[in-house]
Amino acid sequence: MKTTLTLFLWLSGSLAFAPPVMWAQTTDLSDSPPITQLITCGQFIKIFDQSINESHKWYINDHCFIQDTQGKWHLFGITHEEPADPLHEIHFAHATADSLLQHPWAKEPFALTVDRKAPWDEFHLWAPDVIFHHGQYYMYYCAGGATHTTYKIHVALSTDLTHWTRHQDNPMVIDGYDARDPFILPLQDKWLLYYTATRPDSLGHHVVIAVESHDLLHWTNQRVVFTHPDIGTWGGPTESPFVVYRHHKYYLFVCTNTPYDNTAVYESDSPIHWEYQNKVAELPAHCAEVIHVNKAWYISRAGWGRGGVYLAKLQWNDEDSNPQN
């Protein structure tokens, strides 16, 4: 995902199903910023369904893509039997393909299963993000917590994207309210890890937080990089943060849940600060991932009740758009 390709990923869902509301939230959209719609997307095509060879329907939610060193594509994501049951999501789905647009992708055995024993004390498995660095793959994910203010982000390592070992220094981050949905961005000589939470922890504003590291294992300098005016607890409008660097600008994609299949995009000159007023697009996707490969851009979507993972072409509508960037 971070090797020779500039690779970005996203999630979303189809528009016909409204999942149950599972969080407390207050919303006032009267001062929502105007949308210039810098980015649009085409028709979504299904590429993978976890329900293959199952007696019941399964969903894929937050997910990621990565291309391995041999060119094969891999997809990892939250999965569970329908209907939505987030607190009992204990496996990560794994699928593979020879090309990004292959459909269907091949279903593989679960990549990781929750480990509730000490020292890991995992409660569930949410929102994997996988990167490659110095011959190893790093999978960051939310492992839950004993309380809403002690949610943990863990990392597991692999050399083949099939066999994963949890790192002895876990957890990487502990935060609340239900801190989750990690995303890793390389930045010069360091890495930034973004995740969603609230400030303050209970009934605070939905925010995106970043921490930084020079070794991918020890994370410091925690800061709020985006604050949404909505106040709530779990869920909310800053889920699944994803950052794209393009034309000297940084674009923060977040799943808003209003409606369920909606991703907002905010523009900034900085990777550590976005303003709510600088929204440049809304896209019909739940927990979207963005992929840039072979001079083309794609966006994905999935989610509860959505029947799988989908991809669509992503179009940047600014006049200076360069297909090579």
d(C-alpha 267, C-alpha 69), whole Å: 32
d(C-alpha 12, C-alpha 154), whole Å: 24
Q: 70-117: per-residue pLDDT in tens?
A: 999 999 999 999 999 999 999 999 999 999 999 999 999 999 999 999
Average pLDDT over residues 140-152: 97
Average pLDDT over residues 184-201: 96
Terminus-to-terminus CA distance in the chain, angstroms?
16
- DSSP code at position 105: P
pLDDT band at 34 (very low <50, low <70, confident <90, very high): low
- Mean pLDDT lowest among 29-33, 39-43, 230-234, 313-317: 29-33
Average pLDDT over residues 238-243: 98
Residue tagged 């957890």 (tokens): 171
With contact defined as beta carbons under 8 Å apart, do 59 and 79 qualify? yes
Mean pLDDT in the chain?
Answer: 90
CATH of domain 25-316: 2.115.10.20
Instruction: Answer with the residue of higher pLDDT: 240 or 31.
Output: 240
pLDDT band at 268 (very low <50, low <70, confident <90, very high): very high
Q: Which of 85, 89, 83, 101 is nearest to 63 (CA)?
A: 89
